[in-house]
Chain A
Amino acid sequence: MATEVAQLFDAIARQHNADNTTDDPRFRAPLVVGGLDIAGVTRTVCGVSERSMPPAWYVALGISLCLLGMFGTCIGYLILTGVGVWGNNIPDAWGFGIVNFVFWVGIGHAGTLISAILYLFRQNWRTGINRMAEAMTIFAVMCAGVFPGIHVGRPWLAYYLFPIPNQMSLWPQFRSPLLWDVFAVGTYATVSLIFWYTGMVPDIATFRDRATSKIKQFVYGIFALGWNGSSRHWHRYERAYLILAALATPLVLSVHSVVSFDFAVSQVPGWHTTIFPPYFVAGAIYGGFAMVLCLVIPARELFGLKDVITKRHIDNMAKILLATSMMVGYSYLMEFFVAAYGNNKFERFTFFNRVFGPYWWGWCIMTFCNVVSPQIVWSKKLRSNMVILWIAAVFGNVGMWFERFEIIVTSLTRDFVPSSWHQFTPTWVDLCTLAGSFGLFGTMFCLFCKYLPTVAMAEVKTVLPQAHAHGGHLGPDAKRTDYRPDEHSDPDLDAPRFANR
């Protein structure tokens, strides 16, 4: 009997190995496939940076560096000439600068959500993707941080926004949401960075141990903080990680709520709404997950991480994408409802204008990308198709950018006094700066893939069956190395994968 059960389970396990997205109540779907054991995970993940990079990486890095150069040039030109090189004008004093800022801050949400909230909720599948998501967060917040700094008229005085004791006895004005932004984004960036780095320490130690060159040993050694894998280290590490997760969790909600206050606290029709904080957070998570998908889908393909970042990971993220897209869609709907139901003609006009006014196309792009296109996730067939899902994720990013564009531009260009209504047209500097910010992001991400552990190895290992040697449904008799065959995996597990590359 026991043998038959074991055989049945074995069969199910094999089936899961082929496709771990199915849910079988009798069996917990594996989060690492391809028969990777603990050493296999290390080999696979470390292999990403130890092997030479695939040509596509060089292409991506090359393009990113070009864009980064353009970014720097545009910023230099802007600072030396004036913010007037952008298309901003008087009704629309915030153009691309703030659109891009909110966009990138939003992107930065998924990382900490995945690593902190999902950690607290014991969602073990997070382990495969949290490192990349957190890295993405850090880089997105870096991009976001650039924009408020350069959008101000006198960037060299942007430090006035920080509460720095000074000889002028001047202090920031604490009623301004922009100041709240400084604190919210600053805190978020700090905590995210610490969280990311703390989680990386054991993996950097692994890199250190496997490093072949002196320089690598030295540098990784510095950053590994003397990690030696002792139980005491692990204990302290786990505690610290838990505390940071608890700290980071409220930040996920607070940052974009505070960013939304920039708008909600003002009295511009189309901005002045109470729905903004939850709406922005939902949108940010949607945008963040879309960006994670955009990065992870090609990365697992390129770097041979399909066994660690499995279809189930992608599947789960797609579902979150759908859920948050529907929250966003609901928010859009509620905005219109409140505008129609409320007795404020200015607000009513703003929403009417948003759909039928001069920027109707932006609204259409936003709605299509954020509400319509994610609906494909309902179909398992479509969401299992990585190309289609990737396109949907790209749409998600485009849609979220246009959401910010619509909120900022349509509301400002036509507010209270019709004499001051004016259109906004971006200049080439606007467009190049936006493209350039992707260069910064891409460069950072490419370098991250090359030089840092792209997957949280230590954490992935905890979700391997091997980490639960005496537990699990299979009991002590189960063989742990025979999950095969799998279309992705190499039959010869002992040989280093991609050794021939």
Chain B
Amino acid sequence: MKHVTQREYWRSLDHLANTPQVRELGKHEFASYDPEEMKSFGSVSRRRFMQLMSASMALAGLALSGCRRWPEEHLAPFTSRPHDSLPGVPRQYASIYEIDGVGRPLLITCFDGRPIKVDGNPLHPFSATVQGKIGSADAISQASVLDVYDPERSRTVVASGKETEWQLFVNQMKPLASSLAEKQGDGLAFLCEPSSSPSTGRLIAAVAAKYPKASWYEYAPLVSTNEASGIKQSIGRTARLNLHLDKAKVIVSIDADLLGSHPAHTRYAGDWAVGRRTADSGSMSRMYIAESVFSITGTVADGRLPSRPSRLGAILTAVASGLGVGSYPAVELSADEKPFVAAVIKDIQANSGAAVIAIGSHLPAELHALGLAINAKIGAIGATLTLLDAPDSAAGSINDLVTKMKAKGVDTLVMLGGNPVYDAPADLDFASALKNVANSIHLSLYYNETSHLVGWHVPKAHYLEAWGDARSWDGAVSVCQPTILPLFNGKTSDETLALIAGETELDSYSIVQKTFKSILTAGDFDLSFKKVLNAGLVDGSAFGLVNGVTPAAPASITVTPAAANFEIRFQQDSRVYDGRFANNGWLEELPDPLTKLVWDNAALVSVRDAKQAGINNGDILNLTVNGRSLQIAAYILPGQPLGVIGMSLGYGRTAAGNPIKDRELAVGDKVGFDSYTIRTVGSEFVAAGATMAKTGDTYPLAMTQNHHLMDEVGMEGRAERVGKDKYEDSDIIREAKLSEYAKDNKLFQRNEDGSIALPVYPPELFEPPMNYTTADKETTPHRWGMAIDMNSCIGCHACVTACQSENNIPIVGKDHAMNGRAMHWIRIDRYFKGEAEEPSPEVTYQPLTCQQCENAPCEQVCPVGATMHDTEGINVMVYNRCVGTRYCSNNCPYKVRRFNYLDFHSQDPRTDKYPKPYLGIPDQQQMDQVDKIKAMVFNPEVTVRMRGVMEKCNFCLQRIHNTQINKRNAGEELQDGDVVTACQQACPTQAIVFGDLADPNSKVSQWHKNNRAYGLLAETLNTRPRNRYLAKISNPPEA
């Protein structure tokens, strides 16, 4: 009998005996699930075939028994139910997800032991918005739950390409550890991802104590040290900037995508929205941005200057000079730049103490120093900006590591996460440097590009599978709670470090507990730890404020004249981040807010540059920079600065995961173009001197909305509906400038002749009683309604992922997305206004979901009554009644209905254009077709629709009913705000409000009465939508 370590539990005596059969079984979380089983179909014996055929014939003959659909039930009763758990009752756990050293506080919903939904932690200031306690989380965090059930994740420890097991790794590490310990860790190097985790910090210290000569390196492709060094340069110490956009009247951003890609963007977006909400009272914050690639922040900015990255220094210098910060030689500004700089200076001066300037983290350190000096000058520090006492990382850069590796100075390299072979600067050639390392160990969620080249690959536990901890942007410590045991026996970085450090606590729980024993020193530890788990953060653990510093402006700023060649701006992808989420189908199919691209990235080229070079969308370009070239499809983006090619990172993966079954590609394999191949040291974010040439090839780009590529007729029709000029009010997009709206707040209700328009039809079929009192609440049926504030929507797409996760929405793959079959129940329509060639056309987002028309066009045309109103006025779908005539979709003016053209859940999004036809009656157990592991992510509250069925938003009916039932059981009255839809919950700016229209005091009723409220196409079509949009108000600087 083999020795079983103390901490391991055995499942059976066979397991204890560790027989080969059990070892084989243990590789699979689900013994009955065999990814190889599909392959065995080819080898059915003649006898077996006859058996099967005769059995099926006999069954078919039995009164069509083959056509009957009986629910298939799997009973797994608890012989003794785990304490405090009720089957079918969801449980929620506060947790945190750390990406690149910043934790995103979350709330995980579990159903019978499976995490199925990720939301923001409403008790944490960095996901609860200022206005309310609805925890919002960004699309990436929400989609992370899909990764847990990704069957293409790494499942086993791999030693030099051969599958093995964790215990073997542990055994192998022992002699290595002792030999390293003899050398005091000489030749041992660690490459980590940036981390704020106290446990990791503690273990790093422990490892460093054991191996004093070990060297530490940190790398994440999107993390720049410029900001930290700029701040150090300015105030002489490390600090982290925390903006308070809610307090700012004027926000100036120099290429900082505060609302889109900043680590604290969820919080910032909520704060920013506070300044927009006041539009009805006649005042609003104003945001300026000078940026080198069109970002989310740019789309909602009031003053936007598209600019080459090389000009940003000049612009900031001019602003500084105008505000009397530093003394710099006068800079030459172009005709576009002058009015922008003048307006920024004027507005900042007028709003001293209520203005803030933010610098993009990738910009040179001197600009950060200058920015801080400006902020000090304009009274931002302490008001709209606080400096946090955040520690600086002492780890070296990947450049240093590669230098050491090339010099054969590293013989044991431990990579905790990351994928440097894929994403390290291309000129470092990490892959070949890795050959100089004798022992390489790589901990990773996926068997990725790096894993293929290392000695030991160890599967990493997903953050939802193991204990951990992290700090949010403000430094508050949270515990990362596991919600399921590791499906594929993954280990955390902490567990690996603990093993190397020779700690006694080797499992993630003990590691975290040990760390917290030093954090939670006061009182009873168990109680305070439970409190932390419950609230999701340690009270008062945020970084302290840095006060009394006087930022110094740098002596000089390097101002480069505009170059003739192209500049390439590498940016974080709005979906796959830096490539780590490439195997996440939800994210791959999430449309980019601006380009609406799915399953692809592209080189973003400005309209004028494209015209000059004769480029069309989808043309393959040959980009050459620093002696490296990349062939990439072009996407013409209005508003993209001239001479700048925007390019998001993270595509073109070659080993995004282990393809399962008979698949050729993992979800993320060979999607888009690998822009890392031209990204070199020194030009990680901006590469100047690029040339662009057409190759003559074209590439099909999948977009969920492609109207700006339309023919002229379509363009005219589009302009007629959404407005041709900037800020033009139109049928679909209602909007005005703040100055106009402040002058006349009935603006949006006027006819052309100026009179107030009366509703042509009574606006609602069921008006609430005249004198509504709380007593009426009992007797009046709820009238669920929604309102969406287009003024605060930033197009971040968090709601789309929330809906996808909540409502079991499948992904369809590139081919079908290209054919308009994407299944998202809520979509963000993005419209450009103004001339395509103008430097900065206006962008408006309109989240469109089912409008829940009271006079619903879809209901009238359904021949089988599969869509109808329920008693609370929601237009619901009866899936098992639907035969799929699709007439409802045709008659829906908003085109929000989605049809299951194929069995998208069981289809492989990469390799099957059409799934293989499966024999048997298609109306059988659909779930038999869906991968067993993938199926675990389904929300059991929502029907998984089979093919041939129409579906659409139903206002999260399951959430409404659950809340109602719980309230009724508790004997409480349903209050406004009790029912929260998934999209509403996710929205960082709370642009979506949901509630009962029968209650005139509910927030949604108030929004419906707002002067800006309008129903989309409501007057034209008399659909009487239950959704109202609040018109968009812009606050552009007066010319």
Contacts and interface: CB of A to CB of B under 8 A. Distances in A.
Interface of A: 76-77, 79-85, 87-94, 148, 151-158, 160-161, 170-173, 175-179, 182, 262, 265-268, 345-346, 349, 352-353, 356-358, 412, 414-422, 425
A87 B819 contact: yes
A357 B714 contact: yes
Contact of A80 (B710, B816, B862, B922): B922
Contacts of A155: 948
B947 A153 contact: yes
B829 A417 contact: yes
Contacts of B916: 81
Contact of B857 (A76, A94, A160, A266): A266
Contact of A90 (B721, B889, B902, B914): B889
Nearest to A88: B901
Greatest chain A CB density within 10 A among B714, B716, B916, B919 is at B714
Contact of B865 (A82, A94, A148, A173): A173
A178 B863 contact: yes
Sorted nearest first, the 6 A-B pairs with minimum C-beta distance are A153-B884, A153-B948, A84-B901, A89-B820, A80-B917, A93-B886
Greatest chain A CB density within 10 A among B705, B887, B902, B1020 is at B887
A33 B598 CA distance: 70
Given A82-B947, A176-B860, A417-B894, 12 more contacts: A83-B884, A85-B902, A91-B820, A153-B886, A154-B923, A156-B922, A161-B864, A173-B862, A173-B865, A267-B1021, A352-B717, A417-B848
Interface string B805-834: 000000000001001110000010111000
A85 B827 CA distance: 24
A92 B895 CA distance: 10
A161 B713 contact: no
Interface string B889-928: 1110111011111110000000000111111011100000
Contact of B922 (A154, A172, A175, A178): A154
A158 B894 contact: no
B804 to A, nearest CB: 16
A160 B895 contact: no
A152 B820 CA distance: 18
B895 A420 contact: yes
Contacts of B1017: 416-417
B338 interface: no
Contacts of B865: 170-173
Given A81-B902, A84-B947, A154 B884 contact: yes
B869 interface: no
Given A80-B922, A353-B714, A85 B830 contact: no
A346 B890 contact: no
Interface size bracket, B side: 35 or more
A267 B1022 CA distance: 11
Contacts of A94: 886-887, 890
B922 A157 contact: no
Nearest to A77: B917
B711 interface: yes
Interface in B852-876: 857, 860-865
Contacts of A414: 714, 717
A84 B912 CA distance: 12
Contacts of B903: 82
Given A84-B901, A416-B1017, A357 B713 contact: yes
Contacts of A419: 705, 707, 827, 829-831, 846, 848
B749 interface: no
A80 B914 contact: no
A153 B819 contact: no
A170 B868 CA distance: 13
Contacts of B433: none
B469 to A, nearest CB: 43
Greatest chain B CB density within 10 A among A87, A170, A357, A416 is at A416
Contact of B901 (A83, A160, A349): A83
Given A82-B915, A153-B884, A153-B948, A265 B831 contact: no
B883 A179 contact: no
Contacts of A415: 893, 895
B242 interface: no
Given A82-B915, A421-B714, A266 B861 contact: yes
B1020 A346 contact: yes
A197 B924 CA distance: 41
A154 B722 contact: no
B882 interface: yes
Nearest to A266: B891
Contacts of A160: 863-864, 881, 883
A152 B848 contact: no
Contact of A91 (B831, B895, B921): B895
A172 B863 contact: yes
Contacts of B848: 417, 419
Contacts of A170: 864-865, 881
B890 A161 contact: no
A421 B713 contact: no
Contacts of A93: 886-887, 889-890, 899
16 contacts: A80-B917, A85-B914, A152-B886, A153-B882, A154-B922, A154-B923, A155-B948, A161-B863, A171-B865, A265-B861, A268-B891, A349-B717, A358-B714, A417-B848, A418-B718, A420-B895
A215 B884 CA distance: 45
Greatest chain B CB density within 10 A among A76, A262, A352, A421 is at A421
B713 A356 contact: yes
A102 B895 CA distance: 23
Nearest to B948: A153
A153 B900 contact: yes
A358 B890 CA distance: 19
A352 B714 CA distance: 10
A434 B1020 CA distance: 37
Contacts of A171: 865
A74 to B, nearest CB: 12
A178 B861 contact: yes
Nearest to B896: A420
B542 interface: no
B902 A84 contact: yes
A177 to B, nearest CB: 7
Contacts of B919: 80
B883 A154 contact: yes
Contacts of B819: 87, 89, 422, 425
A156 B921 contact: yes
Greatest chain B CB density within 10 A among A82, A161, A415, A425 is at A82
A46 B711 CA distance: 59
Contacts of B883: 152-154, 157-158, 160-161
Greatest chain A CB density within 10 A among B720, B820, B827, B857 is at B820
Interface string B935-964: 000000000001111100000000000000
Contact of B948 (A77, A83, A148, A425): A83
A173 B893 contact: no
Given A83-B948, A414-B717, A416-B894, A152 B885 contact: yes
Greatest chain A CB density within 10 A among B705, B865, B949 is at B865
A361 to B, nearest CB: 13
Contacts of B857: 266-267
A365 B705 CA distance: 29
B732 interface: yes
A421 B710 contact: yes
A346 B713 CA distance: 13
A175 B860 contact: yes
Contacts of B820: 89-92, 420, 422
A267 B893 contact: yes
Nearest to A419: B829
B902 A176 contact: no
A430 to B, nearest CB: 12
Contacts of A265: 860-861
B368 to A, nearest CB: 39
A173 to B, nearest CB: 4
A422 B883 CA distance: 24
